[in-house]
Amino acid sequence: DTEVTQTPKHLVMGMTNKKSLKCEQHMGHRAMYWYKQKAKKPPELMFVYSYEKLSINESVPSRFSPECPNSSLLNLHLHALQPEDSALYLCASSPLFSGYGELFFGEGSRLTVL
């Protein structure tokens, strides 16, 4: 079982809605990530937080707004999304002391934008 928990597992939203994806880990990891994965494609990095500070933003549109309220939680706020934003959103964490180490992934939140 994964130790990174993502909620909700499935989300359907309209283009005018505001929703949030949540991610939680209790492994003491200080780096957390959001990846986006379209069907039959590899995951693509969106954001990286290190010690609760945003360290990497891969030129993601502002309709995606990340937030890291504490070392265990990572949110992705969604607003005015487009149908092409429908995808599997994966959260991951890693111990920051091994910045080049493995990532631990959650099961993902499958988002459908109507």
Partner 1 sequence: SQQGEEDPQALSIQEGENATMNCSYKTSINNLQWYRQNSGRGLVHLILIRSNEREKHSGRLRVTLDTSKKSSSLLITASRAADTASYFCATHDTGTASKLTFGTGTRLQVTL
Q: Interface with partner 1 by CB under 8 A: which residues?
A: 2, 4, 31, 33, 40-45, 48, 50, 55-56, 88, 90, 92, 99-108, 110
Which residue number, 48 or 113, has a Cβ lying nearer to partner 1? Answer: 48
Q: Which is nearer to partner 1, 45 or 80 (CB)?
A: 45
* Closer of 84 and 102 to partner 1 (Cβ): 102
Write b or e for each residue in 85-106: b if 16 or more Cβ atoms lie within 10 A of its Cβ, otherwise e: bbbbbbbbbbebeeeeeebbbb
Nearest CA to 23 among 41, 39, 2?
Answer: 2
Shortest distance in whole angstroms from residue 38 CB to partner 1: 12
Closest among 57, 36, 4 to 113, alpha carbons compared: 36
